[in-house]
Amino acid sequence: MLPVAFMLLASTPTAPVPKALVELVKNGSFEDGPDVDKWLSLNKGSTKIKGWKTTRGQIDYISGLWTASDGDRSIDLHGSPGFGGIKQTLKTTKGKKYAVTFDMASSPGGVPSEKSLWVEAAGVRKKFTFDAKGKTAAKMGWEKKEWEFTADADEVELEFYTAETEDGNQGPALDNVSVKEKQ
C-alpha cells in the first residue's frame, strides 16, 4: 500500500509552469568590450562593444570614471565631444509585445543638469529624462526606466540616442539594458 502523502501528492493538480522570459539583449550592461581607462570615445559605426553599434555621432564608453549601475561599465551618449547613440538588432516575433528596461543617469556636472534620451524600436520612440542636479560620480542616482513596443518584424533594431543639442561632452548615461517578450 502506498503512503498517504504519496497518494495526495500524486493526485494534486499542478499549475502550468510559466514560460521562462528570455533575455534578447546581448551585453546589456556593456561589460564585454575593449579595455577602458576611465573612458574610451567611440565614433559612429563602431562595433567595439560586443553586440552594439555606435550611431549618430560619438559616444564615450565608461569604466571607472563614475559608478556604473550594473557591473563596471556604462555609456555616456555624448562623446568627447559628440551627440551619439547605440543600437542592437533583436530577434523578435512580429506582432508580439516586448518590455524594455534600462537604467538612466547623466554625466555629472553637465549643463543643463537635466538630460534626455530617446529609445526607439519598431518605428516608435519615447523620450526619457534624468536630472543630475546634486549627483556625483560616486552617487550617480541611476533610475530604472521602462518602455514597451510591439514588434513590426522578426528582427527589430533597438536604439538609444541623445535628445540633447547642448554640452557635447556630458550627456545622458545608459546601463543595464534588458528586453524580454511580455507575457
Cell of 64: 571607472
From the CB of residue 107, how many other CB atoms can be counted at a distance below 10 Å?
25
Give the list of residues 6+ apart from residue 11 with CB closer than 8 angstroms, or none: none
What is the pLDDT at residue 20? 67
Q: pLDDT by residue (tens digit) across 111-143?
A: 888 999 999 999 999 999 999 999 999 999 999
Is-above-0.85 flag for pTM? yes
171 touches 106 (CB < 8 A): yes
End-to-end Cα distance, the chain: 43
List domains and CATH numbers for the chain.
Answer: 21-181 (2.60.120.260)
Which segments of the chain does DSSP mark as H helices, in order? 4-11
Distance of alpha carbon 154 from alpha carbon 93, whole angstroms: 5
Distance of alpha carbon 76 from alpha carbon 104, whole angstroms: 10
